[in-house]
Amino acid sequence: MESSMAAAVETPVTVPAFDVSGRRSAATTAGLVFNSPDPPSLREELVGVVGKAFRPRRTSGGDGGCACALTALQAVFPVLQWGRTYTLKSFRSDVMAGLTLASLGIPQSIGYANLAKLDPQYGLYTSVVPPLIYAVMGTSREIAIGPVAVVSLLLSSMVQKIVDPATDPVTYRTLVFTVTFLAGIFQVSFGFFRLGFLVDFLSHAAIVGFMAGAAIVIGLQQLKGLLGLSRFTNSTDVVSVAKAVFSALHDPWHPGNFFIGCSFLIFILATRFIGRRYKKLFWLSAISPLLSVVLSTAAVYATRADKHGVKIIREVHAGLNPSSVKQIQLNGPYTTECAKIAIICAVIALTEAIAVGRSFASIRGYKLDGNKEMIAMGCSNIAGSMSSCYVATGSFSRTAVNFSAGARSTVSNIVMAATVFIALELFMKLLYYTPMAVLASIILSALPGLIDIREAWSIWKVDKMDFLICLGAFVGVLFGSVEIGLGVALAISFAKIIIQSIRPQVEVLGRLQGTNIFCSVRQYPVACRTPAVQVIRIDTSFLCFINATFIKERIMEWVMAEVETSNEKARERVQSVVLDMSNVANIDTSGLVGLEEIHQDLLSMGIQMAIAGPGWQAIQKMKLGHVVDRVGEEWIFLTVSEAVEGCIAAHKGSAMEC
């Protein structure tokens, strides 16, 4: 230890040389460019990512082994950290929030199970086990876990293409549990190996369009319950649904269903308006769905409306979640299809949950750990798949209620789960006469929050290409299917990336008077060009096969235009071209060939090429590819200003020799 410290002290430190004007000499800064250590290899970067996922954070003080074990446990179970400072006052707030949350969650869970083509109890099961797992593993204090409309639609629309739930409900449930298990595995993997960037493949614009399209599709699907139709299409596109409604209206239908559904939809929306207008009455909008179920059930029972065509739930199985471990099929004939559905559900569920969690975390002033959220959500779904639950995630409407009710921690999820469990044990028989139209109205009341017209308008004003992505997702979901909508959004997103990569900006730079700052002369017309030196900036992080030819052609166009202009004025004739590569972090072999061709073309015109500020990976590959040898080390600079000064000095020196 002492010898290593001594060696470190004795190691000579190179002090940058400065000229009389206070600027570092170009020779010294060029040395900095070439004497930097080798950048990390691809293998080292991959090992670092994986190692970071497994390596616990260091703690100060205490026994090393015990401290690391405690830190690792706290990383997996955040409840061990915040639970030590949990107070009775917080518990009271969480109990009230949990009870309020359950009053909204119970009717919503039943409705979403119907949307997922499952029996009502499966929605309630999903509001018991996943929230309990998330409560001890999640980092969000406000998020409410359970079934949501969009994921329910995803499952029903994709799984029913494999098996029809009407003809084979047992196999359908088996596939749903398998999809839920695989979705949990994918989510845990994303968090464990820090692959959260995969969720970002769905851009904000794509999510806005997808959610709006899904909300309209979900609303159209509720026409079956709202009108009391017996026959309906399994397709989710607007054309098929419109045809199904039109054909069904020719059959006998009972207006009592429509009257009940519309009446309670108006009631729920009215209480929501009152809750937003008067913040202290937020609980009114929270309990209105449960109140609607109670009142409508009592009305149907009292009037025997089920005898006159009103569709009711009938039997709801009571009791604890039955085990579904044996129903998870990982080697069956549909495993590949289940995996495809699972990864879509996993990404959509994570996107919604993390967006919801971060929104409310920013209000409370704390940071949400995205990787821990993925692991917590994945474990919740894995445990849920083994206990008759389908894919659960964070619900925006229930989270907003949880926040308004004063939730202080994930204990509110535990209280909600306990309340739902008690309801499963004691009150399921009371739901026999609950009309299907009320469930449809509860789902319809939650849909306006998914359609964000103001955000779509903002996207249109800011970025027309992003709006095209938003519109593609919306139209694809509405007139095609969920998969088509997502596919269109991803295709346009990747097309946008490819177009921007193929045609990056290549800008001519000028110096701001009295400074060493160089900027685009198109963006800042006051910037002055340097006589005899043309400065060109390459605005791409990766100079590669996809853009090397375009960049070369663009640079030569600028140079040829400048040469033709400057030939009329001998004093301003272009003698050097400085390539500002400060934005180029990396380069491939096609990029190296492109640089060599630019250098050769410029030399054939009697123009010297200089390079300023190449990135770490870029300069390393330029050395290995011998581009530095061909251009010359003396023509590689750290900054644009030093490159320009070096070129001017070289011109003066050559003029004096002449």
Distance CA 370, CA 366 (A): 13
What secondary structure letter does DSSP report for 528? B
CB 292 within 8 A of CB 431: no
Q: Tell me, what's the pLDDT at 571?
A: 55
DSSP notation for 283-300: HHHHHHHHHHHHHHHHHH
Distance CA 94, CA 409 (A): 7
Q: What percent of the chain lies above the pLDDT cut of 90? A: 51
Residue 39 has pLDDT above 70, yes or no: yes
- Closest listed residue to residue 537, CA positions, set 560, 514, 554, 525: 554
Q: Tell me, what's the pLDDT at 278?
A: 85
Q: Tell me, what's the pLDDT at 57?
A: 52
pLDDT in tens, 271-284: 988 988 887 888 88
Tokens of 491: 């295709």
CB 407 within 8 A of CB 94: yes
Q: What are phi and psi of 657, to 5 degrees?
A: -65, -35
Average pLDDT over residues 580-591: 94
3-state secondary structure of 588: coil
Residue 1 has pLDDT above 80, yes or no: no
Q: Tell me, what's the pLDDT at 16?
A: 40
Distance CA 254, CA 252 (A): 7
Distance CA 294, CA 78 (A): 38
569, exposed or middle or buried, with CB in 10 Å at 0-12, 13-18, 19+? exposed
Residue 640 has pLDDT above 50, yes or no: yes
pLDDT in tens, 493-515: 888 888 888 889 999 999 998 89
Q: Tell me, what's the pLDDT at 112?
A: 93
Residue 516 has pLDDT above 70, yes or no: yes
Residue 362 has pLDDT above 70, yes or no: yes
DSSP notation for 38-87: PPPPHHHHHHHHHHHHHPPPP-SSS-HHHHHHHHHHHHH-THHHHGGG--
Looking at 78-82, 244-248, 266-270, 330-334, which range is the least confident one? Answer: 244-248
Residue 4 has pLDDT above 70, yes or no: no
Q: Tell me, what's the pLDDT at 656?
A: 54
Distance CA 440, CA 219 (A): 8
Q: At a CB cut-off of 8 Å and minimum separation 6, what does 451 contact? A: 211, 212, 215, 216
Distance CA 153, CA 348 (A): 11
Average pLDDT over residues 210-214: 90
3-state secondary structure of 310: coil
> How many CA atoms, within 13 angstroms, populate the side-chain half-sphere of residue 128?
23
Higher pLDDT: 17 or 118? It is 118
Q: Tell me, what's the pLDDT at 25?
A: 52
Average pLDDT over residues 444-457: 89
Q: What percent of the chain lies above the pLDDT cut of 70? A: 88
Q: At a CB cut-off of 8 Å and minimum separation 6, what does 307 contact? A: none
pTM: 0.79
Confidence class for position 555, pLDDT limits 50, 70, 90: very high
CB 389 within 8 A of CB 146: no
Distance CA 132, CA 128 (A): 7
Q: At a CB cut-off of 8 Å and minimum separation 6, what does 581 contact? A: 538, 543, 611, 612, 613, 614, 615, 618
pLDDT in tens, 523-537: 999 999 888 899 999
DSSP notation for 98-165: HHHHHHHHHHHHHHHHHHTTS-HHHHHHHTTHHHHHHHHH---SS--EE--HHHHHHHHHHHTTTS-T
Average pLDDT over residues 457-463: 94
What secondary structure letter does DSSP report for 451? -
Q: Tell me, what's the pLDDT at 13?
A: 37
Sheet holding 505-511, edge to edge: 518-520, 505-511, 533-539, 576-580, 608-612, 636-637
Q: What are phi and psi of 18, to 5 degrees?
A: -125, 145
Confidence class for position 570, pLDDT limits 50, 70, 90: low
Average pLDDT over residues 393-412: 89
Confidence class for position 26, pLDDT limits 50, 70, 90: low
Residue 550 has pLDDT above 70, yes or no: yes
